[in-house]
Amino acid sequence: MKLVFATNNKNKIKEIKSLLTDSLELLSLEDIDCYKDIPETSETIAGNALQKAKYVFDNYGYNCFADDTGLEIDSLNGEPGIYSARYAGEKKSAEANMDKVLTKLEHIDNRKAHFKTVIALIIDGKETLFEGVAKGEIMLSKSGSKGFGYDPIFKPDGLDTTFSEMNTEEKNKISHRGQAVQLLIAHLSVTP
């Protein structure tokens, strides 16, 4: 079966391709000649993931899945949430986004937060959602050089290191995206 991952992020494609069975042929947006900036106008993370998957299914006719991720901080009423990638502006700068979070939390004691990833899968028109959540807290400053996005300021519960201080294998075992991907893979392994 051919399955499109509605992304052009080569690292995400490579990571998921290594986890899937040989019976699935994973394609990127580039592989199906989709070079459009797929809209993400939903008010929820799940809605954005589903919107991207439906766009590919409706316009290109491929079974597909898409993901969306957000960082939700308790004391900021769930910000940045669906705006995580562009929290500090449309340039989508991870450094600027982290700086904005750290500034907003400067005099706040409650630094509890969680990452949420939702993967929306559409096979033959049937929609299925998979969710992963990693609970933790926002650090006082950035730490670590691995990962991407908010990883240098997010420390998962029960650990003394940020996501950015972990190698990919360690992070994937406990991360929000890792959890959602494992649910997707388990579902695909029983799908005829």
CATH number at residue 181: 3.90.950.10
- Least confident residue range of 7-11, 46-50, 77-81, 107-111: 7-11
Residue 68 token pair = 């969306």
Beta bridge mates, 122: 64, 127
Residue 38 token pair = 């797929």
Active-site hit among 68, 74, 99, 157: 68
Is the pLDDT at 192 greater than 70, yes or no? no
Active site residue 68: yes
pLDDT tens per residue, range 120-144? 999 999 999 999 999 999 999 999 9
The model's confidence at residue 6, banded by pLDDT at 50, 70 and 90, is: very high
Question: Which residues constitute the domain of residue 21?
Answer: 2-190
| CB 31 within 8 Å of CB 2 | no
Domain count for the chain, please give it.
1
